C-alpha cells in the first residue's frame, strides 16, 4: 500500500504588487494627498497641514501633520501596515461621532509611494492609568527600494520604534514623503489646494468642522475666494431633501431666503409616479445665478467676481458623511447632466457655469461603495437613485420657473395688444376732432405709419420663425447627438478597434469575410445614422423655407420622412403612412410645416425608445374634412403619463428622460401661426400618444 506525500503551502505576494496597488492605482498627486488627509479626518483631527518643500523638481518632500488621536504600536502593526483590510466600519463611529472615510488602505499606499521613502511618526492620545504616567510616540521608516529589490513582500521587515514623549506634546501624526519621484507643477499645486478646500465642505457653517490647510500661495488665494461665498447673489436657491424612508420634499427660495414654491414627494417624483427613492438620507442645495450686467447693476458684488468664484467652485459637489467625493463637481464633470438638460430646453435652466450645488449624503450603513481608484462611486442602483432624486428636483425647479416666465409673457402680450389697440383708437379719435382738411392729411400720414408698423410686425414674425427653425434644428441635433453618443459612436469605436486588432494579424483573402465584413458594415451603418443629423440640420436652416408661399403638405411630409429614413431604419421603426387623396396646400412657410412634423417625429422616436416595445410602430396619417387637413402622428411608445394634458404644450415640460420639452411648444406655436389647432390623446390605437394637428387648407 503506497502513501502519497504532501506538503503545506500558502499564497505569497511579489513586491511588484506594491507598485500595482500604489502609483499605478492612483497616479494623481492631488488625490493621493487627499487620501492621507482623509486618514487624519478618521483620526478625529480638527486640523491637518500639508507642506510642500522644494517640489518644483523631482526629489522634493511633502509632509502631512495633524492633531488627531494618533496611533500606538499595535495599531500601526495590525491596521496601518495591513493593506486591503480595515477596522473602519460605517457603524463604528469615531470619538467625535464621525463616520470613517477609509476602507482598505489602498489609497494610503498610493500616496506613500509618491516618494522613494517615507517616515511616519505618531503619538496616541495619552490615557492616564493608575501608577502609569508614561507617554510614548511611535515611528516607522520605509525605503521602497528595499521592496523593489526584494522578491516577496514578506522578505522586507519594517521596525516600529517606540520612544518616550513629554506629556506636553499633543497627540497627532506626522507623515513625511521623501525624495518625490516626480516634480509637482503649479497646476498640480492648484489642484491640491482646490481639493483640500472642498474636501470638508466649505459651504457648511460648522466652526468645529475638519480644517485641512496647504502651505502654499495658491491655497491662500483660493481660500480667500471661497470664504467670500456669493450665495446671496444667487437668484434662486433650490433646497431639496429625501429622508431615510425615501420621501422627498423641496423648496425654491429667492435671494432673500423667502420661499417661492414648495413641493411634496408626489410633485417631485412625478416622472416615477410617486415611487419612493431607495437611497440614504440626502440633501441637495443648488444656487442658480442670472449672470448679466443688468442683474448685477445694483449689487455690491461684481459680475466678474461671481464668475471667477463659480469658475473655481461651480458645479454640484458630493459629500458623503462629511467628506467630498471626487470627481463630482470638478470642471467637466456634469454628473447630473445639467448642461444636457439645458441644451435640450434652455429656458429657465441653470448650467454648470451659472450654478453651484452641494449634495450631502448621510450613509451610515455603507450602501454606497467608492471605486478602488477612489474616482467616485460604483454606479449601482443606490447611486442612480440619488442621481434621480437630484435630477427630479431640478426638473421641478425648471417647471416652476417656466410657469412664472409663461405667466409673465402672457401678461406682457395681453398688455402690449391692449395698449396698441387703445393707442390706435385714441389717435383716430383725436384726428376726427380736427378740421376736414387737417383730418384728411393726418389720416393719410397715420395710414402710412400704420402700414410701416405692420411691415415691422411682419418682419418680427419672420424673425420669430427663424428662431423657431433654429430651435427645431437644435432639438434635432440634440436628439441625434444623444443617440450618437450612446450607440453609433460606440459601434464606430468598437468596429475600428476590431479592424485594427485583426489587421495586425496575417489574413488570407478567405478570412476577410469572416473577420472584417461585419465590423465594416457596422461602421457604414453608424455613419449613415450620423449623416442624418447633418442633412436634417442643413435642410431645416434653408432660407427659402422661411418665405411664405404655397406649401403642399403631403410633399413636405414625404421630404421629412425621406430625411429621417436612415435613422428610422437604424432604430427598427415600422413606419406606416396613410395620406389622403389629393395635394392639400395652404399659404405658409415650408419651415413651419417642417417644424411641426419634425418635432412630432422626434417626440415619437423618444417615446418609443423609452418604452422599448418588441415591435416599434409609427403612423403618419392625413384626412381632409372640408377645408381642414387633419394630420395625426401616432406611435406605440410610452404615451402621455405623469403630466396633465394642458401642460404638455408648455416649454420645458416633458416626461421622457431623453425629451427636450420644447418640441410640442414649437408645434403649438407654429400651428397657431397658420390659424390651425392641435390636440393630443394620451393613448391612441397604437398604444402610445396621438398628436392631432388641424391645418386650414385653401386647396386640395
> Residue 646's pLDDT band (boundaries 50, 70, 90)?
confident
Q: Which helix (H) or strand (E) holds 361?
A: strand 355-362
Name the domain count of the chain: 3
Domain that holds residue 520: 465-696
In a domain, 428, yes or no: no
In a domain, 438, yes or no: no
In a domain, 403, yes or no: no
Residues 599 and 677 in one domain: yes
CA distance 525 to 171: 66
In a domain, 84, yes or no: yes
Residues 255 and 209 in one domain: no
Give the ranges where 248-353 is alpha helix by DSSP (H).
265-268, 303-313, 338-344
pLDDT at 161: 94
Residues 543 and 645 in one domain: yes
Residue after which a domain boundary falls, among 349, 370, 398: 398
CA distance 159 to 77: 10
Does residue 456 carry a pLDDT above 60? yes
What is the value of pTM for the model shown? 0.57
Does residue 446 carry a pLDDT above 90? no
Helices 488-503, 518-540: axis angle to 10 degrees equals 140
Give the DSSP per-residue string, 168-223: TSPPEEEEEEEEESS---HHHHHHHHHHHHHHT-TTS--TTS-EEEEESHHHHHHH
> Mean of the per-residue pLDDT values for the chain?
81
E-assigned strands of 54-195?
Answer: 61-66, 115-123, 136-143, 161-164, 172-180
CATH of the domain at 543: 3.30.565.10
> Residue 316's pLDDT band (boundaries 50, 70, 90)?
very high
CA distance 516 to 499: 6
pLDDT at 304: 87
Residue after which a domain boundary falls, among 194, 224, 254: 224
CA distance 174 to 615: 65
Residues 217 and 348 in one domain: no
Residues 219 and 106 in one domain: yes
CA distance 419 to 333: 49
> Residue 388's pLDDT band (boundaries 50, 70, 90)?
very high
Q: How many residues are present in the chain?
A: 700
CA distance 622 to 633: 9
Lowest mean per-residue pLDDT among 170-174, 483-487, 629-633: 483-487
In a domain, 600, yes or no: yes
pLDDT at 365: 84
Lowest mean per-residue pLDDT among 54-58, 194-198, 519-523, 536-540: 536-540
> Residue 122's pLDDT band (boundaries 50, 70, 90)?
very high
Most confidently predicted of 87-91, 242-246, 609-613: 242-246
pLDDT at 175: 94
Cell output for 610: 423609452
Higher pLDDT, 316 or 591: 316
Residues 277 and 351 in one domain: yes
Q: Are 13 and 150 in contact (CB under 8 A)?
A: no
Lowest mean per-residue pLDDT among 536-540, 632-636, 674-678: 536-540
pLDDT digits (tens, 9 = 90+) for 228-267: 778 888 888 999 999 999 999 999 888 767 788 899 999 9
Lowest mean per-residue pLDDT among 69-73, 91-95, 409-413, 529-533: 529-533
CATH of the domain at 113: 3.30.565
| 129 three-class SS | strand
Lowest mean per-residue pLDDT among 199-213, 280-294, 353-367, 596-610: 199-213
Higher pLDDT, 510 or 371: 371
Amino acid at each position: 500500500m503506497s502513501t502519497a506525500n504532501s506538503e503545506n503551502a500558502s499564497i505569497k505576494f511579489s513586491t511588484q504588487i506594491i507598485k500595482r496597488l500604489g502609483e499605478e492605482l492612483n497616479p494623481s498627486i492631488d488625490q493621493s494627498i487627499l487620501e492621507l488627509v482623509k486618514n487624519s479626518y478618521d483620526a478625529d483631527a480638527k486640523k491637518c497641514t500639508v507642506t510642500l518643500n522644494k517640489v518644483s523638481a523631482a526629489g522634493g518632500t511633502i509632509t502631512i501633520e495633524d492633531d488627531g488621536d494618533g496611533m500606538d504600536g499595535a495599531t500601526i502593526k495590525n491596521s496601518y501596515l495591513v493593506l486591503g483590510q480595515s477596522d473602519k466600519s460605517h457603524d463604528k463611529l469615531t470619538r467625535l461621532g464621525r463616520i470613517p472615510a477609509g476602507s482598505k488602505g489602498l489609497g494610503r499606499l498610493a500616496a506613500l509611494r509618491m516618494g522613494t521613502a517615507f517616515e511616519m511618526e505618531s503619538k496616541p492620545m495619552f490615557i492616564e492609568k493608575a501608577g502609569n504616567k508614561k507617554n510614548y510616540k511611535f515611528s516607522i521608516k520605509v525605503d521602497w527600494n528595499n521592496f523593489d529589490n526584494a522578491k516577496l513582500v514578506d522578505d522586507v521587515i519594517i521596525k516600529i520604534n517606540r520612544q518616550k514623549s513629554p506629556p506636553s506634546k499633543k497627540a497627532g501624526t506626522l507623515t513625511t514623503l521623501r525624495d518625490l519621484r516626480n516634480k509637482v507643477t503649479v497646476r498640480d499645486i492648484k489642484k491640491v489646494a482646490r481639493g483640500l478646500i472642498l474636501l470638508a465642505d466649505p459651504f457648511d457653517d460648522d466652526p468645529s468642522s475638519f480644517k485641512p490647510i496647504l502651505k502654499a500661495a495658491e491655497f491662500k488665494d483660493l481660500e480667500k475666494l471661497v470664504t467670500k461665498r456669493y450665495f446671496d447673489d444667487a437668484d434662486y436657491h433650490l433646497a431639496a431633501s429625501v429622508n431615510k424612508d425615501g420621501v422627498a420634499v423641496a423648496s425654491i427660495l429667492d435671494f432673500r431666503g423667502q420661499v417661492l414654491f414648495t413641493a411634496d414627494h408626489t410633485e417631485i417624483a412625478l416622472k416615477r409616479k410617486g415611487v419612493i427613492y431607495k437611497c440614504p438620507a440626502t440633501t441637495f442645495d443648488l444656487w442658480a445665478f442670472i449672470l448679466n450686467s443688468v442683474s448685477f447693476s445694483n449689487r455690491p458684488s461684481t459680475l466678474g467676481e461671481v464668475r471667477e468664484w463659480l469658475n473655481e467652485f461651480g458645479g454640484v459637489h458630493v459629500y458623503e458623511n462629511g467628506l467630498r467625493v471626487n470627481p463630482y463637481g470638478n470642471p467637466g464633470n456634469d454628473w447630473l447632466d445639467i448642461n444636457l438638460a439645458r441644451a435640450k430646453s434652455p429656458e429657465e435652466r441653470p448650467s454648470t457655469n451659472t450654478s453651484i450645488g452641494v449634495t450631502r449624503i448621510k450613509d451610515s450603513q455603507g450602501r454606497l461603495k467608492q471605486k478602488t481608484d477612489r474616482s467616485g462611486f460604483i454606479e449601482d442602483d443606490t447611486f442612480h437613485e440619488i442621481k434621480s432624486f437630484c435630477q427630479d428636483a431640478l426638473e421641478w425647479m425648471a417647471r416652476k420657473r417656466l410657469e412664472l416666465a409663461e405667466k409673465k409673457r402672457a401678461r406682457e402680450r395681453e398688455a402690449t395688444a391692449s395698449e396698441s389697440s387703445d393707442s390706435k383708437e385714441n389717435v383716430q379719435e383725436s384726428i376726427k376732432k380736427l378740421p376736414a382738411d387737417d383730418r384728411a392729411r393726418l389720416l393719410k400720414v397715420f395710414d402710412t405709419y400704420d402700414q410701416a408698423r405692420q411691415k415691422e410686425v411682419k418682419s418680427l414674425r419672420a424673425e420669430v420663425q427663424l428662431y423657431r427653425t433654429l430651435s427645431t434644428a437644435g432639438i434635432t441635433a440634440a436628439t441625434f447627438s444623444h443617440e450618437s453618443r450612446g450607440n453609433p459612436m460606440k459601434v464606430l469605436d468598437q468596429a475600428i478597434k476590431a479592424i485594427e486588432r485583426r489587421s495586425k494579424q496575417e489574413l488570407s483573402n478567405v478570412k476577410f469575410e469572416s473577420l472584417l465584413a461585419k465590423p465594416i458594415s457596422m461602421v457604414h451603418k453608424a455613419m449613415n445614422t450620423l449623416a442624418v443629423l447633418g442633412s436634417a440640420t442643413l435642410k431645416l436652416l434653408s432660407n427659402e423655407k422661411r418665405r411664405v408661399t404655397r406649401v403642399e403638405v403631403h410633399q413636405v411630409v414625404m421630404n421629412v420622412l425621406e430625411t429621417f429614413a436612415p435613422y428610422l431604419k437604424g432604430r427598427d421603426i415600422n413606419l406606416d403612412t396613410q395620406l389622403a387623396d389629393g395635394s392639400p396646400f395652404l399659404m405658409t412657410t415650408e419651415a413651419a410645416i417642417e417644424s411641426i412634423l419634425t418635432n412630432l417625429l422626434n417626440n415619437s422616436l423618444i417615446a418609443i425608445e423609452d418604452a422599448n416595445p418588441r415591435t416599434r410602430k409609427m403612423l403618419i396619417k392625413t384626412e381632409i374634412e372640408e377645408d381642414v387637413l387633419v394630420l395625426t402622428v401616432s406611435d406605440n411608445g410610452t404615451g402621455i403619463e405623469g403630466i396633465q394634458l394642458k401642460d404638455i404644450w408648455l416649454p420645458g415640460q416633458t416626461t421622457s428622460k431623453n425629451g427636450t420639452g420644447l418640441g410640442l411648444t414649437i408645434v403649438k406655436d407654429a400651428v397657431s401661426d397658420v390659424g390651425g389647432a392641435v390636440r393630443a390623446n394620451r393613448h391612441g390605437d397604437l398604444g402610445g400618444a396621438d398628436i392631432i394637428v388641424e391645418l386650414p387648407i385653401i386647396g386640395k
